[in-house]
Chain A
Protein backbone atom coordinates (compact mmCIF):
# COMPACT_ATOMS: atom_id res chain seq x y z
CA UNK A 1 0.00 0.00 0.00
CA UNK A 2 1.14 3.55 -0.65
CA UNK A 3 3.19 4.72 2.34
CA UNK A 4 1.53 8.10 2.62
CA UNK A 5 -1.93 6.60 2.48
CA UNK A 6 -1.02 4.05 5.12
CA UNK A 7 0.30 6.69 7.48
CA UNK A 8 -2.99 8.55 7.41
CA UNK A 9 -4.94 5.37 7.96
CA UNK A 10 -2.95 4.14 10.93
CA UNK A 11 -4.07 6.99 13.17
CA UNK A 12 -7.74 6.28 12.54
CA UNK A 13 -7.23 2.54 12.89
CA UNK A 14 -5.68 2.96 16.32
CA UNK A 15 -8.58 5.18 17.33
CA UNK A 16 -11.04 2.60 16.06
CA UNK A 17 -9.30 -0.06 18.12
CA UNK A 18 -10.02 1.89 21.31
CA UNK A 19 -13.41 3.18 20.26
CA UNK A 20 -15.73 0.71 21.92
CA UNK A 21 -13.56 0.01 24.92
CA UNK A 22 -10.25 1.10 26.41
CA UNK A 23 -7.35 -0.95 25.18
CA UNK A 24 -3.65 -1.40 25.74
CA UNK A 25 -0.64 -1.41 23.42
CA UNK A 26 -0.25 -5.08 22.62
CA UNK A 27 -3.96 -5.65 22.19
CA UNK A 28 -4.19 -2.74 19.75
CA UNK A 29 -1.40 -4.30 17.72
CA UNK A 30 -3.15 -7.64 17.64
CA UNK A 31 -6.47 -6.07 16.64
CA UNK A 32 -4.89 -4.22 13.74
CA UNK A 33 -2.69 -7.06 12.54
CA UNK A 34 -5.16 -8.55 10.02
CA UNK A 35 -5.53 -5.18 8.36
CA UNK A 36 -2.28 -3.25 8.63
CA UNK A 37 1.29 -4.13 9.51
CA UNK A 38 2.29 -2.19 12.58
CA UNK A 39 5.58 -2.18 14.46
CA UNK A 40 5.97 -1.26 18.13
CA UNK A 41 7.86 1.92 17.40
CA UNK A 42 5.26 3.03 14.88
CA UNK A 43 2.49 2.34 17.37
CA UNK A 44 4.32 4.28 20.05
CA UNK A 45 4.66 7.29 17.75
CA UNK A 46 0.99 7.13 16.77
CA UNK A 47 -0.18 6.85 20.37
CA UNK A 48 2.02 9.80 21.36
CA UNK A 49 0.75 11.87 18.45
CA UNK A 50 -2.89 11.09 19.22
CA UNK A 51 -2.33 11.96 22.86
CA UNK A 52 -0.80 15.32 21.95
CA UNK A 53 -3.72 15.98 19.63
CA UNK A 54 -6.08 15.24 22.52
CA UNK A 55 -7.72 12.37 20.69
CA UNK A 56 -6.98 9.89 23.43
CA UNK A 57 -6.05 9.86 27.09
CA UNK A 58 -3.73 7.49 28.93
CA UNK A 59 -4.20 5.96 32.33
CA UNK A 60 -2.34 3.27 34.20
CA UNK A 61 -4.01 0.32 35.83
CA UNK A 62 -2.77 -2.73 37.67
CA UNK A 63 -2.83 -6.00 35.81
CA UNK A 64 -1.40 -9.27 36.99
CA UNK A 65 0.91 -7.68 39.50
CA UNK A 66 2.32 -5.11 37.14
CA UNK A 67 1.26 -1.77 35.74
CA UNK A 68 -0.24 -1.45 32.30
CA UNK A 69 -1.09 1.64 30.28
CA UNK A 70 -4.61 1.87 28.94
CA UNK A 71 -5.74 4.22 26.18
CA UNK A 72 -9.14 5.86 26.14
CA UNK A 73 -10.69 7.67 23.18
CA UNK A 74 -11.85 11.27 23.58
CA UNK A 75 -14.60 13.26 21.88
CA UNK A 76 -12.05 14.66 19.45
CA UNK A 77 -10.96 11.13 18.68
CA UNK A 78 -14.52 10.07 17.96
CA UNK A 79 -14.93 13.12 15.76
CA UNK A 80 -11.81 12.11 13.81
CA UNK A 81 -13.40 8.72 13.12
CA UNK A 82 -16.60 10.40 11.93
CA UNK A 83 -14.61 12.65 9.59
CA UNK A 84 -12.81 9.60 8.28
CA UNK A 85 -16.14 7.89 7.53
CA UNK A 86 -17.37 10.94 5.63
CA UNK A 87 -14.15 11.22 3.61
CA UNK A 88 -14.30 7.59 2.67
CA UNK A 89 -17.96 7.50 1.70
CA UNK A 90 -17.02 10.17 -0.83
CA UNK A 91 -14.04 8.11 -1.88
CA UNK A 92 -16.27 5.07 -2.30
CA UNK A 93 -18.53 6.83 -4.77
CA UNK A 94 -15.45 7.99 -6.68
CA UNK A 95 -14.16 4.41 -6.65
CA UNK A 96 -17.47 3.19 -8.06
CA UNK A 97 -17.25 5.81 -10.77
CA UNK A 98 -13.68 4.92 -11.68
CA UNK A 99 -14.35 1.17 -11.82
CA UNK A 100 -17.80 1.48 -13.40
CA UNK A 101 -16.53 1.40 -16.99
CA UNK A 102 -14.37 -1.59 -16.22
CA UNK A 103 -17.38 -3.48 -14.85
CA UNK A 104 -19.52 -2.48 -17.83
CA UNK A 105 -16.95 -3.75 -20.26
CA UNK A 106 -16.56 -7.09 -18.55
Chain B
Protein backbone atom coordinates (compact mmCIF):
# COMPACT_ATOMS: atom_id res chain seq x y z
CA UNK B 1 0.00 0.00 0.00
CA UNK B 2 1.28 3.46 -0.78
CA UNK B 3 1.44 6.21 1.80
CA UNK B 4 -1.29 8.16 0.04
CA UNK B 5 -3.54 5.14 -0.08
CA UNK B 6 -2.92 4.38 3.57
CA UNK B 7 -3.75 7.92 4.63
CA UNK B 8 -6.83 8.03 2.39
CA UNK B 9 -8.15 4.80 3.85
CA UNK B 10 -7.38 6.00 7.36
CA UNK B 11 -9.16 9.28 6.75
CA UNK B 12 -12.14 7.34 5.46
CA UNK B 13 -12.17 4.93 8.38
CA UNK B 14 -12.00 7.74 10.91
CA UNK B 15 -14.73 9.81 9.27
CA UNK B 16 -16.85 9.55 12.41
CA UNK B 17 -14.25 11.38 14.45
CA UNK B 18 -14.29 15.16 14.85
CA UNK B 19 -12.31 16.74 12.06
CA UNK B 20 -9.61 18.26 14.25
CA UNK B 21 -8.99 14.93 15.97
CA UNK B 22 -8.88 13.07 12.67
CA UNK B 23 -6.48 15.47 10.98
CA UNK B 24 -4.16 15.39 13.97
CA UNK B 25 -3.97 11.63 13.86
CA UNK B 26 -3.38 11.65 10.12
CA UNK B 27 -0.50 14.08 10.54
CA UNK B 28 0.91 11.82 13.23
CA UNK B 29 0.84 8.71 11.06
CA UNK B 30 2.10 10.57 8.02
CA UNK B 31 5.06 11.71 10.06
CA UNK B 32 5.67 8.17 11.31
CA UNK B 33 5.78 6.87 7.76
CA UNK B 34 8.11 9.66 6.64
CA UNK B 35 10.49 9.02 9.53
CA UNK B 36 10.64 5.35 8.72
CA UNK B 37 11.39 6.08 5.10
CA UNK B 38 14.15 8.40 6.21
CA UNK B 39 15.69 5.48 8.07
CA UNK B 40 15.95 3.69 4.76
CA UNK B 41 12.69 1.79 4.54
CA UNK B 42 10.72 1.83 1.33
CA UNK B 43 7.28 3.41 1.32
CA UNK B 44 5.65 -0.02 1.23
CA UNK B 45 7.73 -1.28 4.12
CA UNK B 46 7.07 1.84 6.17
CA UNK B 47 3.31 1.54 5.74
CA UNK B 48 3.52 -2.17 6.46
CA UNK B 49 5.22 -1.59 9.80
CA UNK B 50 2.31 0.47 11.03
CA UNK B 51 0.27 -2.68 10.91
CA UNK B 52 -3.13 -3.75 9.69
CA UNK B 53 -5.12 -0.66 8.83
CA UNK B 54 -8.55 -2.11 9.54
CA UNK B 55 -7.43 -3.20 12.96
CA UNK B 56 -5.98 0.25 13.53
CA UNK B 57 -9.23 1.95 12.55
CA UNK B 58 -11.35 -0.21 14.83
CA UNK B 59 -8.89 0.30 17.66
CA UNK B 60 -9.01 4.08 17.33
CA UNK B 61 -12.78 4.30 17.01
CA UNK B 62 -13.11 2.04 20.04
CA UNK B 63 -10.78 4.21 22.10
CA UNK B 64 -12.18 7.62 21.24
CA UNK B 65 -15.60 7.31 22.90
CA UNK B 66 -13.81 6.15 26.05
CA UNK B 67 -11.58 9.22 26.01
CA UNK B 68 -14.47 11.59 25.52
CA UNK B 69 -16.89 10.17 28.06
CA UNK B 70 -14.55 9.28 30.85
CA UNK B 71 -16.70 10.92 33.49
CA UNK B 72 -19.85 8.92 32.90
CA UNK B 73 -19.77 5.31 33.99
CA UNK B 74 -21.49 2.76 31.81
CA UNK B 75 -24.03 0.62 33.62
CA UNK B 76 -23.64 -3.09 33.34
CA UNK B 77 -26.72 -5.17 32.43
CA UNK B 78 -27.16 -6.70 35.88
CA UNK B 79 -26.99 -3.26 37.44
CA UNK B 80 -29.77 -2.06 35.19
CA UNK B 81 -31.94 -5.07 36.07
CA UNK B 82 -31.35 -4.51 39.77
CA UNK B 83 -32.23 -0.86 39.46
CA UNK B 84 -35.49 -1.60 37.68
CA UNK B 85 -36.49 -4.38 40.07
CA UNK B 86 -35.75 -2.28 43.08
CA UNK B 87 -37.41 0.84 41.75
CA UNK B 88 -40.59 0.55 43.85
CA UNK B 89 -38.38 0.73 46.91
CA UNK B 90 -35.73 3.26 46.04
CA UNK B 91 -38.04 5.42 43.98
CA UNK B 92 -40.60 5.75 46.75
CA UNK B 93 -37.82 6.36 49.26
CA UNK B 94 -36.46 9.08 47.02
CA UNK B 95 -39.90 10.67 46.72
CA UNK B 96 -40.33 10.45 50.49
CA UNK B 97 -36.98 12.11 51.16
CA UNK B 98 -37.80 14.80 48.66
CA UNK B 99 -41.22 15.35 50.21
CA UNK B 100 -39.73 15.65 53.69
CA UNK B 101 -37.13 18.16 52.49
CA UNK B 102 -39.78 20.17 50.71
CA UNK B 103 -42.13 20.20 53.70
CA UNK B 104 -39.28 21.22 56.03
CA UNK B 105 -38.49 24.07 53.73
CA UNK B 106 -42.13 25.10 53.44
CA UNK B 107 -42.71 25.01 57.17
CA UNK B 108 -39.73 27.30 57.67
CA UNK B 109 -41.25 29.71 55.22
CA UNK B 110 -44.61 29.32 56.96
CA UNK B 111 -43.01 30.40 60.22
CA UNK B 112 -41.56 33.39 58.45
CA UNK B 113 -44.91 34.30 56.93
CA UNK B 114 -46.71 34.01 60.25
CA UNK B 115 -44.06 36.14 61.96
CA UNK B 116 -44.40 38.75 59.27
CA UNK B 117 -48.18 38.61 59.53
CA UNK B 118 -48.02 39.00 63.31
CA UNK B 119 -45.66 41.89 62.86
CA UNK B 120 -47.98 43.64 60.47
CA UNK B 121 -51.10 42.76 62.43
CA UNK B 122 -49.55 43.79 65.71
CA UNK B 123 -48.39 47.14 64.44
CA UNK B 124 -51.64 47.95 62.65
CA UNK B 125 -53.81 46.82 65.52
CA UNK B 126 -51.54 48.56 67.96
CA UNK B 127 -51.89 51.83 66.07
CA UNK B 128 -55.63 51.28 65.96
CA UNK B 129 -55.74 50.69 69.70
CA UNK B 130 -53.56 53.65 70.42
CA UNK B 131 -55.63 55.96 68.26
CA UNK B 132 -58.82 54.84 69.99
CA UNK B 133 -57.55 55.94 73.32
CA UNK B 134 -56.03 52.72 74.51
CA UNK B 135 -52.51 54.01 74.38
CA UNK B 136 -50.76 51.50 76.60
CA UNK B 137 -52.16 48.30 75.08
CA UNK B 138 -51.65 49.90 71.70
CA UNK B 139 -48.01 50.61 72.43
CA UNK B 140 -47.54 47.11 73.75
CA UNK B 141 -48.98 45.68 70.57
CA UNK B 142 -46.80 47.89 68.45
CA UNK B 143 -43.81 46.75 70.47
CA UNK B 144 -44.77 43.09 70.06
CA UNK B 145 -45.31 43.70 66.39
CA UNK B 146 -41.83 45.16 66.05
CA UNK B 147 -40.32 42.17 67.81
CA UNK B 148 -42.10 39.94 65.35
CA UNK B 149 -40.85 42.10 62.52
CA UNK B 150 -37.27 41.72 63.72
CA UNK B 151 -37.67 37.98 64.14
CA UNK B 152 -39.20 37.67 60.72
CA UNK B 153 -36.16 39.38 59.18
CA UNK B 154 -33.91 36.78 60.82
CA UNK B 155 -36.31 34.09 59.71
CA UNK B 156 -36.16 35.37 56.17
CA UNK B 157 -32.39 34.94 56.00
CA UNK B 158 -32.66 31.52 57.64
CA UNK B 159 -35.25 30.45 55.09
CA UNK B 160 -33.12 31.71 52.23
CA UNK B 161 -30.07 29.84 53.49
CA UNK B 162 -32.03 26.64 54.08
CA UNK B 163 -33.61 26.78 50.65
CA UNK B 164 -30.27 27.45 48.98
CA UNK B 165 -28.60 24.66 50.93
CA UNK B 166 -31.28 22.19 49.98
CA UNK B 167 -31.07 23.23 46.34
CA UNK B 168 -27.33 22.67 46.29
CA UNK B 169 -27.76 19.25 47.91
CA UNK B 170 -30.13 18.27 45.13
CA UNK B 171 -27.80 19.67 42.47
CA UNK B 172 -24.78 17.87 43.88
CA UNK B 173 -26.61 14.58 44.05
CA UNK B 174 -27.74 15.00 40.44
CA UNK B 175 -24.19 15.75 39.35
CA UNK B 176 -22.76 12.71 41.15
CA UNK B 177 -25.05 10.46 39.17
Count chain A residues whose beta carbon lies closer than 8 angstroms to a beta carbon of B. Answer: 13
In the assembled complex, which residues on chain B have CB atoms less than 8 Å from the CB atom of A45? 63, 67
- The majority secondary structure among interface residues of chain B is helix
Least CB separation from B63: chain A residue: A45
Chain A nearest CB, measured from B102 CB (Å): 42
> Interface residues of B toward A: which range?
10 to 19
Stretch touching chain B among A61-69, A76-84, A86-94: A61-69
B38 CB contact (under 8 Å) in A40, A41, A64: A64
B36 touches A41 (CB 8 A): no
Least CB separation from A66: chain B residue: B34
Give 1 or 0 for each of B117-133: 1 = CB within 8 Å of chain A CB.
00000000000000000
A26 touches B32 (CB 8 A): yes
Least CB separation from B34: chain A residue: A66
**A39 interfacial by beta-carbon distance below 8 Å:** yes
Instruction: State in angstroms the CA–CA spacing of A27 and B36 once bound together.
Output: 10
In the assembled complex, which residues on chain A have CB atoms less than 8 Å from the CB atom of B28? 25, 40, 44, 69
With A39-B51, A40-B50 in contact, do A26 and B59 touch (Cβ < 8 Å)? Answer: no
Give 1 or 0 for each of A26-60: 1 = CB within 8 Å of chain B CB.
11000000000001110011000000000000000
Residues of A within 8 A of B (CB): 24-27, 39-41, 44-45, 64, 66, 68-69
Query: Beyond the given A25-B35, A69-B31, could you list 7 further A-B residue pairs with CB under 8 A, ordered by the A residue number?
Result: A26-B31, A39-B51, A40-B50, A40-B56, A45-B63, A45-B67, A69-B27
